[in-house]
Amino acid sequence: MTIKKKLSLAFGLLFFIIGGIIVLNQIVAKQAKDRYETIHDEIQPAIKVIDKYIQINKTLKDLLEDKIDENKGVNSTLNNKITAILEVEIPNINRTLKGVINEESQLIDVEWVLTNSNKAVKSSEMVIKTLVNKMDYADPVKLKKIKKLYRVEIKKTINLINRRLYHSTEEYKQVNFELNQELNNSFSQISIIILGFGMVGILIGLFFANQTIRSIISPINELKKSAAIVGDGNYSHTTIIEGKDEISELGNSFNIMTDSLRESFEIIQEQKEIQEESNYIKSSKNTLYEMLKGELSTSQIAKRTLEFLLEFYKAPMGSVHSITSDDHLVCEAVFAYDKKKEEMPLIPIGQGVIGAAVLNKKTVIIDDVPNEYSTINTTLGGLKAKCIVVIPVEFANECIAVIELACLNKPDEFSLSFIHEIKESIGISINAAQGLKQLEETYEKLEASSQDLALKNKELEQFVYITSHDLQEPLRTITSYSNILEEDYADVLDEDALKYVSFLQKASDRLRNQIHSLLELSRIGGMKEKEKVNFNTIFENLQTELDFLIKEKKGSLITPSFVVESIMGTSTEIQLLFQNLIVNGFKYNNNETPQVEISYMNNGTHLSFCVTDNGTGIKEKYYEKIFQIFQRLDKGEGSGIGLAHCKKIVESHNGKIWVDSEFGKGTSFFVDLKV
């Protein structure tokens, strides 16, 4: 039964009992009220009036006694008193008696009393009228007759009435007593009802309250205990609360809550374990990464990896082999084995467990270790390995090494899965070490050939210089003799011969220019002292030096008004660089008003110059070619060395030069110079 129903029942019962008490009280109280009204309205007035009647009769009897006495009878006051009783008091008390006594009353016969009273009154009036003065008393007959009347009739009647009245009054008193008794009984009944039923009600109430409280408190205590148990971490605890009330529902909800708490706890626990495992893996990985950091050789990496894995797997013995270019396994590191790594034999790929692991690229776990497998020697004897783990290490899907661990126990799943986490890193490190080794070898070779190249270059430059220098001498001879021919034999030589001499002179001039340029080129990038290059001075010089050319071409040269920045370099070379570009801009230009403009911007790391002209332009396919020595795109008087010269100057200043052009419209040369 639910608590609500229990409480409703208890209160219902309580109200029923209180209602019963009220109804019973009403009944008893009504009876008591009736009795009280009877006593108060009938009995007590009757007793009172009867008592008074008896009293009046007695007084009348006494007064009449005096009246018939010849010594006391002649007294007007006595007469008045008797008259008052007879005329006022007795009629009054008769009226009252009639009014007070119920006609149906069995206790007194009112009619009888009134009749006899009238009789007594009339006789008494006779006495008063007969005995008026002394003479009447002096008459013995009269007196005797009156005395007889009094004694035989009046006194007798009054006594009779009084006896009846007295009897009635006694009966009334008896009724009064009984009614009072009943009234008291009613009050007792009311008290008993209130007390008795009240007590029963209270007891029933207490019983139900006790039952209800117990039905609430004991499951709550049970719940309290369960909450403490669950609070202590025992999430598998189940609370049992019998019944089908709200508390048992609360118990069910508590169990559901405990279940979900347990589930949550288990999830948290799982996550914690996963987190711990992942932290452990992370920290182990970090340890390994730290160990493999830096420029290490393959055998150093193999040694450190082996140390790490032996510690991680608590394995006492192990080795690491790498794969040679001729498909053999060579030992890079070995631990606790009775041979040094240098003494270990080369194993062909595919042979033995580790050779097979290379081909299969799969981790091999051998539980059933053969007897002939090496014993791990200690100072006290030899230990037998229980499990052998062979791990192939790959890089870019190629097996590059094999690790072998001899364990005293079979590693658990978690430890085995860990190897897959780090295999790749070990592979990368070994590959990097092998790559580094190759790189070092290549670098050594490169260094040797670059030294060789530098030597050859130097020789070449010297050769160019010497050749150019040496060529000048025969050239000077050719020029001198052609001049002599032109000047001294002009008369002797015919027109054709003179034309050939002039060709000879022009060719000599061109050759001189080329030799001069070659000499300049061979000098660039030499051991010249670097200085702060002032571009403003360079552009001013160029404006002055090229003024004749510009005017001759009827063109214009626009240079930056002010260059704040400068670079470290050779000013003469930089000037020559811009001079070549400007001269080309005018040279390869058919425009009526040829124009060359130099602009620049600072890129932070470089000063970027742009030399733009409105000349013939260059086809894209020649963008590379024009920077090569002796490469020319037309048959003009150029030497084909200018742009090669420019390129060499820019590169010796750690810069870059390139071209962009729109054929037929103009060309832009871009020069980046390192700030």
Shortest Å distance, C-beta 621 to ligand ADP: 13
Retrieve residue 225's tokens: 């205990």
Rounded CA separation 288/286 (Å): 5
* DSSP symbol at 622: G
Retrieve residue 178's tokens: 């009984």
CB under 6 A: which stretch of 148-156, 271-279, 304-312, 580-588 binds ligand ADP?
580-588
Shortest Å distance, C-beta 304 to ligand ADP: 57
Rounded CA separation 436/535 (Å): 45
Rounded CA separation 263/235 (Å): 9
Shortest Å distance, C-beta 642 to ligand ADP: 3
Q: Which is nearer to ligand ADP, 56 or 641 (CB)?
A: 641
Determine which residue in the list 94, 123, 508, 584 makes contact with ligand ADP, applying CB under 6 A: 584
Q: Which is nearer to ligand ADP, 14 or 629 (CB)?
A: 629
Beta carbons of 39 and 178 less than 8 angstroms apart: no
In the shown chain, the binding pattern of residues 416 to 445 toward ligand ADP, with x for contact by CB under 6 A and - for none, equals: ------------------------------
Determine which residue in the list 251, 355, 411, 585 makes contact with ligand ADP, applying CB under 6 A: 585
Q: Is 549 in the site for ligand ADP (CB under 6 A)?
A: no
Window 597-656: residues binding ligand ADP (CB under 6 A): 613, 615-616, 618, 626, 632-634, 638-644
Shortest Å distance, C-beta 584 to ligand ADP: 3
Shortest Å distance, C-beta 531 to ligand ADP: 26
Q: What is the 3-state secondary structure (H, E, C) of 440-486?
A: HHHHHHHHHHHHHHHHHHHHHHHHHHHHHHHHHHHHHHHHHHHHHHH
Beta carbons of 305 and 402 less than 8 angstroms apart: no
Q: Which is nearer to ligand ADP, 569 or 642 (CB)?
A: 642
Q: Which is nearer to ligand ADP, 618 or 673 (CB)?
A: 618
Beta carbons of 478 and 509 less than 8 angstroms apart: no
Name the packing angle between helices 44-67 and 110-130 (round to 10°): 20
Shortest Å distance, C-beta 673 to ligand ADP: 19
Q: Is 219 in the site for ligand ADP (CB under 6 A)?
A: no
Q: Which is nearer to ligand ADP, 306 or 596 (CB)?
A: 596
What are φ and ψ of residue 377, in 5° steps?
-85, 135
Map residue 334 onto helix, strand or coil. strand
CB-CB neighbours of 250 under 10 Å: 15
Furthest C-alpha separation in the chain: 247
Closest CA to 97 of 130, 38, 26, 48: 48
Shortest Å distance, C-beta 663 to ligand ADP: 9
Q: Which is nearer to ligand ADP, 205 or 640 (CB)?
A: 640
Closest CA to 648 of 448, 464, 452: 464
For 388-418, the DSSP string reads EEEEEEEETTEEEEEEEEEESSPPPHHHHHH
Number of residues that bind ligand ADP (CB under 6 A): 20
Q: Is 588 in the site for ligand ADP (CB under 6 A)?
A: yes
Shortest Å distance, C-beta 576 to ligand ADP: 12
| List of residues contacting ligand ADP (CB under 6 A) | 580, 584-585, 588, 613, 615-616, 618, 626, 632-634, 638-644, 667
